Amino acid sequence: MAIAQAKASSAAWCLSFSVDAGVLPLFETIFEVLDGAMVTGAPDSVGLMTLELYLSEPPSDERIEELLKTASELAEVVPPAFNLAQLPDVDWVAESQKALPPIEAGRFYVYGSHVTERPPFGSIPLLVEANVAFGTGRHESTYGCLLALTQLAQRHRFKNALDMGCGSGILAMAMAHLWRCPILAVDNDADSVRVAGENARENRVAEWIEPHCGDGYKSHLVARRGPFDLIAANILAEPLCAMATDLKRNLAPGGYVILAGLLTRQARQVVARHRGQGLRLVKRLHFGEWTTLVLQG
C-alpha cells in the first residue's frame, strides 16, 4: 500500500497524518472517499507510517475529523492529529515516485515507468504505476502473494484462475505470466477494474485476463467461469472470513487458495473459517505484521 489513488498532477492541497503501520489499511480505505492521491512512506522507529493525501480541493476540518473518527473507532486507536496544507503547482506523486526503487518478490520485478535500469536476468517484470487501484507490490500482503505464486509455480500448473478483489490486477498479471491460463480479475470498484485492464494491456497479458466489475462471488461471471483451480484474494481479514463459504463453493476439488491482507494476529481466525469449509493450511508466509496464507481444497 505504498502508493494508491492518483489524479495527482492537479493536486493543490496535502492532507497528512501518522498512524501505526498495522492499522494503516483501514485509514486508507476510509479516506478513499476523498478521491485523492495517496502516498505512504516506510515506518519510523516506533512503527508509525505517514499517509499523505493529495487533493484538488480542500475538505473541511469537520469532514476530516469525521473520517478520522470513523477509521479510529474501527481500528480501536486514538484519532491522530492531522495537517492540511496548500501546495505549489507540482506533480507530487510523480516527484515521490522518483524515490521509489523497484521491488523483487519471488520471480517478479515490480517497477514504475520512472525506473530506467534493466530488470534482473530471468525475472518477470511487472510495470505497475501508482493510480486509483490498490496493488503496487510494495505492501507486505502483495509481496507475500507474489512470493506464494512463485513457490506454487515450482510444482503446480493451473488452468483456470481467479483474482478476487483484483485492485491494480498485479496478481492476475503474475498468474498470467506463470501459467498462461484464463484468469478472471474481479473487483467491486469500477476504477480498479479499468486500471487492471490497462495494466494487463501494458504488460502484454491482456489475452489471458478478463477484468470484471462485480459483487465478489455473487457475480454471475464468477459462477459461470468457475470452479477455479487457483484463487487469490488479497483483501482484508473480515471480508475473507465472510467469503469463505462462497470461496469453497467456487474452488475446484484440490484447488489452491492464496489469502492475504490480514495481520498475523488475524491469521488464526481466517484459517479457522476456511478449515471449517474443508480447506487445509499448506503454508504461512510472514512479513512484518502481515501474513499470507496458502490453503488447498
pLDDT, residue 136, reads 47
pLDDT, residue 114, reads 73
pLDDT, residue 138, reads 53
Strand-pair category, 48-55 with 37-40: antiparallel
pLDDT mean over 245-261: 97
In whole angstroms, what is the distance from residue 138 CA to residue 121 CA? Answer: 21
DSSP string, 132-160: SSS--S-SHHHHHHHHHHHHHHTT---SS
pLDDT, residue 68, reads 97
52-93 pLDDT, tens digit per residue, is: 998 888 999 999 999 999 999 999 999 999 999 987 665 545
pLDDT band at 118 (very low <50, low <70, confident <90, very high): confident
218-238 pLDDT, tens digit per residue, is: 999 999 999 999 999 998 899
pLDDT mean over 98-114: 78
pTM for this one?
0.69
How high is the mean pLDDT of the chain? 87
In whole angstroms, what is the distance from residue 235 CA to residue 165 CA? Answer: 6
* 4 pLDDT more than 50: no
pLDDT, residue 40, reads 76
In whole angstroms, what is the distance from residue 113 CA to residue 97 CA? Answer: 9
Give the Å distances, CA to CA, from 73 to 43, 66, 70, 111.
Answer: 22, 11, 5, 35
